[in-house]
Amino acid sequence: MCLGVPGKITELYEKGGLPMARVDFGGVFREACMSYVPEATVGDYCIIHVGFALNLLSEEEANETMALLKEISDFGSELGLDAEGTPTAI
């Protein structure tokens, strides 16, 4: 649960009386509740934590975070680790 991940809003809708969004996390899509970021529109980037958008990010901030995540993953593969940090050469 101690994770906040940036994603891009691809669709906004209402479900059970709550504002919801379909969010793209680099190709993985999840549903998130937008109650705390009502100003969000399709195409905005936001941080998602336990299924809730916490705040909006600029595209630049989102890309910076995603680049950092990718850098960790790339550094891992230089060391022979896969994306989960598990050694690939056993």
Query: In terms of DSSP bridges, do strands 18-25 and 5-15 run parallel, antiparallel, or are they unpaired?
Result: antiparallel
Any contact of residue 81 with another protein (CB under 8 A)? Answer: yes
Are 67 and 56 within 8 A, CB to CB? no
Give the shortest CB-90-to-another protein separation in angstroms.
6
Tell me whether residue 33 or residue 66 sits nearer to another protein (CB atom).
33
User: Is the distance from CB of 26 to CB of 66 less than 8 angstroms?
Assistant: yes
The CA angle 80-74-32, to the nearest 5 degrees, is 120
Instruction: Say how far apart CA 80 and CA 90 lie, in whole Å.
Output: 9
Q: Which two tokens stand for residue 15?
A: 């479900």
> Least distance in Å: CB of 63 to another protein?
21
Binding status of residue 51 toward another protein by CB under 8 A: yes
Q: Which stretch binds another protein (CB under 8 A): 5-13, 28-36, 37-45, 57-65?
A: 28-36
Residue of 11, 13, 36, 71 interacting with another protein (CB under 8 A): 36
Tell which one of 50, 67, 68, 83 touches another protein (CB under 8 A).
50
